[in-house]
Amino acid sequence: MLKSQTNGIIMKVFLLSLTVLFSICLKAQNNIGIKYFGLSIHPKGEHENSFLMPNKLDKNGYLVMNFGAVVSYEYFIVEERVSLKIAQALYSDCAARLGGFTHIGIRGRILKKGKHTISGGIGPTIVYRRNWLELDGYINQNRFKGDEDDKWQYLFLWYGGEFEYKYAINNKVDVTSSFVPGYPDLMSLSFGISIKL
């Protein structure tokens, strides 16, 4: 009973975040972004479970390619300085299983020089993935919640965030790169564009 409730909560959060994201975007304010996601970096390696990662770039799983996308909407509270950002991601995780995250956070500009902008943000994030406990030989590191019978595992972070670099191609379009500093477990890189509406 509790397991099905947990799965239901994860799906409701996912659907609610998509609904909010797209209803806000329809108002044509501020900017929307889409990024390719990306590259996962395990600073300490994933020695025990690297055999489960078909897209790893080294034998110990320090670097693993992910295939998916992050869609975001950024609403500026203080023009070009402070914003609220909502992001929704779906991707193939390190074990090539369906995963994703939902994030909402406050962010601020750190540096702006000419066409270059660096900003940082922080806020609550829920990360979810198809249950790795189903995988033969998986060694559970107890980072994600969920039992063997659950379809999904999840991890809730109050402090999820990112650093983002933007290069302005013109007045409407920026090329962007994001870095999520989740040390010591997982850091990630993603690349894409941001369009001012």
Q: What string of DSSP letters covers 67-127?
A: EEEEEEEEEEEETTTEEEEEEEEEEE-TTSSEEEEEEEEEEEEEEEETTEEEEEEEEEEEE
Digit-coded pLDDT (tens) for 23-38 = 554 444 689 999 999 9
Contacts of 9 by beta carbon, 8 Å cutoff, 6+ apart: none
Average pLDDT over residues 126-146: 95
Digit-coded pLDDT (tens) for 53-104 = 999 999 999 999 999 999 999 999 998 899 999 999 999 999 999 999 999 9
Q: Report residue 186's pLDDT band, with 50, 70 and 90 as the boundaries.
A: confident
Contacts of 120 by beta carbon, 8 Å cutoff, 6+ apart: 107, 108, 110, 161, 162, 163, 164
Q: Could you tell me the CATH number of the domain that includes residue 83?
A: 2.40.160.20
Which range of residues forms the domain containing residue 157?
Answer: 2-196
Q: How far is residue 182 from each of residues 42, 133, 152, 196, measured CA to CA in Å?
A: 9, 22, 21, 28
Amino acid, res. 38:
G
Threshold 0.85, pTM exceeds: no
Domain count, the chain: 1
Average pLDDT over residues 183-196: 90
